[in-house]
Structure 1
Amino acid sequence: MNRSDNDKNRSTENGNFGDNPWRAMGLIGSVGGTIGACLGLGYWIGAKFDTGYGGIVGMAAGFVAAVIMTVFLIRTFTGGNAR
């Protein structure tokens, strides 16, 4: 197997994506799943209240939760260096 100079320059440190596409795809999938789950759960909980706006309020609360969870998720994937 012939390795090029680019292979030697790849960063393999924990918390750095380097050139690893699988790790980047994992982050994208996790972010999408987190947003979808928070919005769906927020709507479901909000729809349990029989007011006319329960689902919308629940989705808004779910969106806020999704943003917060996504920030923590990105910090975890980047080794705590997300700013």
Structure 2
Amino acid sequence: MTNPSHNDNNRNTDNSSFGDNPWRAMGLIGSVGGTIGACLGLGYWIGLKVDQAQDTGYYSIVGMAVGFVVAVFITIILIKAFTGGKAK
């Protein structure tokens, strides 16, 4: 006889649960990594173009910093979307 608490039918299948769906968790990790990389790269590229136009050398760093701040906000939005608005 099997223990009913260990039966697969008793698993939580709520869409906001990462415990039973590793593909959903991997999707979140991939989205966060891609978002951070894209925001940092875009910020650096825009800063580099401004550096070249104004013959300076610090806008690329400023662009990366702004890109990181934007990435943090987008990551928060992604986490809330993946968890169904229940991010703590």
Please give the alpha-carbon distance, in whole angstroms, between the structure 2 residues aligned to 1:66 and 1:6. 41
> Structure 1, residues 10-32: CA drift from partner, whole Å, max 9, x if none?
21112222311111111100000
Number of corresponding residues:
80
The alpha-carbon deviation at position 6 of structure 1 amounts to: 4.3
Secondary structure class of the residue paired with 1:18: coil
The aligned runs of 1:21-40 (5 Å cut-off) are: 21-40=22-41
List runs of 5+ in structure 2 lacking aligned partners.
Answer: none
Pick which of 47-56 and 60-69 moved more. 47-56
Secondary structure class of the residue paired with 1:24: helix
Tell me: CA distance 1:66–1:9, structure 2 relative to 1, closer, same or farther (3 Å). same
* Structure 1 length-normalised TM: 0.88
Pick which of 64-73 and 43-52 moved more. 43-52
* Structure 2 length-normalised TM: 0.83
Could you say which structure has the higher helix fraction? 2
Q: Which has the larger radius of gyration?
A: 2
